[in-house]
Chains A and B, each alone.
Chain A
Amino acid sequence: KQEVTQIPAALSVPEGENLVLNCSFTDSAIYNLQWFRQDPGKGLTSLLLIQSSQREQTSGRLNASLDKSSGRSTLYIAASQPGDSATYLCAVRSRPRGSQGNLIFGKGTKLSVKP
């Protein structure tokens, strides 16, 4: 059974700092991995999607990497801003095993960027 773990559960950094959020998964047989952002009381917004054949994706100040063999992904945020404060969730789309694949989520890392 696929399990997704995110460490740390919470992180507080001063504005301007570069930071890394970690995600690990137990089953390396995945279709893709997504990073989402969730603001308090809101839904999830997809930030980056990495296909299983890719190693990284970049969007602005965000860079996500994927090491499928070791079951790890990182989300790198450069020059953090207070507006980056949110919960970041990692999710993997697992290959089907007798059923269609679905997204398995980690519990997220709550990021707080202090001005």
Chain B
Amino acid sequence: DARVTQTPRHKVTEMGQEVTMRCQPILGHNTVFWYRQTMMQGLELLAYFRNRAPLDDSGMPKDRFSAEMPDATLATLKIQPSEPRDSAVYFCASGLGQGAIDEKLFFGSGTQLSVL
């Protein structure tokens, strides 16, 4: 049963610490998205990759956030230094990209981040 895998599921850290979240997209998918979900803002796009190339990271605070795809099976989202306002659930999603016949996005279960 193919699924998007995110680790860790939960992370509690102190302000100023580095946080790394990992995502394994579904094998064969060529697009990867990072979203952040909060009660106030809902789901916000942070970064978007297609064929491992970053296409849109305009939603990401670049001074502290960075997103990479070292290879087709791994996407990472790093926050350094973390701040309490970064507390949220971070979702990774993968898909077959625009133009695919059955284009749907598949979400992981998320990483719940608490920055104290």
Residues of chain A whose beta carbon lies under 8 Å from any beta carbon of chain B? 31-32, 34, 36, 41-46, 49, 89, 91, 93, 99-108
Contact = CB atoms under 8 A, between A and B. Distances in A.
A99 B106 CA distance: 22
A109 to B, nearest CB: 12
B25 interface: no
B55 A99 contact: yes
B98 A31 contact: yes
A50 B55 CA distance: 24
Contacts of A34: 104-105
B56 interface: yes
B103 interface: yes
A29 to B, nearest CB: 14
A102 B104 contact: no
Contacts, number: 53
16 contacts: A32-B103, A34-B105, A42-B110, A44-B93, A44-B107, A46-B105, A49-B103, A100-B56, A102-B33, A102-B56, A103-B33, A103-B45, A103-B105, A104-B45, A105-B35, A106-B42
Nearest to A42: B109
Nearest to B31: A100
Contact of B91 (A31, A43, A102, A108): A43
B43 A49 contact: no
B43 A89 contact: yes
Contact of A107 (B42, B56, B110): B42
- Among A41, A43, A45, A89, chain B packs the most CB atoms within 10 A around the CB of A43
Contact of A43 (B45, B50, B102, B108): B108
Nearest to A32: B103
Contact of A100 (B43, B91, B98, B102): B98
B107 A45 contact: yes
Nearest to B3: A43
